[in-house]
C-alpha cells in the first residue's frame, strides 16, 4: 500500500435526465438520502458524510466530464442495514433488485451487496461490510 494522502470520497456527480425524478428515487422511493440545495440552487443527495451532486445531463454551464451522459456511473454506497432487509424494502417500493444479495470484496474487505438501477440506468450497489 502506498502512503496516499487520500482518505475517502467526499462526493460523486450524477448526470440526470430528470433531476427531480432522481431525487424522488433516492430520497422518497429508496429512502437512502436527503435532498439538499446548495450554491446557486444546485441539488445534491446527502447521506452520512458523503453526497451525490446532481447535474442535468447536457448542462453546459458547469464544469463537467468530457462526455457527461446519464446512466454512465456504477458506484457503491455502504449501508448499516442488512442488505437482505434493504432489498426487500426496495422491492416493496417497486424497485427491482438487479443482483444479490451476493458476497463481494470492497475497499475494506468482505461485504454483502445488492444492486439496483436508478431512473437513468446507473448501477448502484448497496453494501454492508461483514462483521
pLDDT at 30 over 70: yes
State the pTM of this model. 0.86
Pick the catalytic residue from 24, 36, 81, 125: 125
84 is catalytic: no
pLDDT digits (tens, 9 = 90+) for 40-92: 889 999 998 899 999 998 887 777 888 888 888 889 999 999 999 999 999 99
Least confident of 1-5, 30-34, 57-61, 67-71: 1-5
Q: Which three cell numbers stand for residue 37?
A: 440545495
Decide which of 59 and 128 is more confident: 128
Rounded-to-integer distance, Cα 86 and Cα 80, Å = 10
- In the chain, the domains with their CATH numbers are 11-58+71-129 (3.10.180.10)
| 8 A C-beta contact, residue 75 and residue 126 | no
Amino acid at each position: 500500500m502506498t502512503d496516499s494522502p487520500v482518505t475517502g470520497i467526499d462526493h460523486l456527480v450524477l448526470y440526470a435526465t430528470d433531476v427531480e425524478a432522481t431525487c424522488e428515487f433516492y430520497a422518497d422511493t429508496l429512502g437512502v438520502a436527503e435532498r439538499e440545495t446548495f450554491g446557486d440552487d444546485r441539488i445534491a443527495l446527502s447521506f452520512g458524510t458523503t453526497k451525490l451532486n446532481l447535474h442535468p445531463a447536457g448542462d453546459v454551464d458547469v464544469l463537467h466530464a468530457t462526455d457527461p451522459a446519464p446512466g454512465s456511473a456504477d458506484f457503491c454506497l455502504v449501508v448499516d442495514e442488512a442488505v437482505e432487509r434493504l432489498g426487500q424494502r426496495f422491492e416493496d417500493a417497486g424497485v427491482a433488485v438487479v443482483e444479490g444479495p451476493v458476497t463481494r470484496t470492497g475497499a475494506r474487505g468482505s461485504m454483502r451487496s445488492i444492486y439496483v438501477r436508478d431512473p437513468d440506468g446507473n448501477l448502484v450497489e448497496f453494501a454492508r461490510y461483514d462483521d
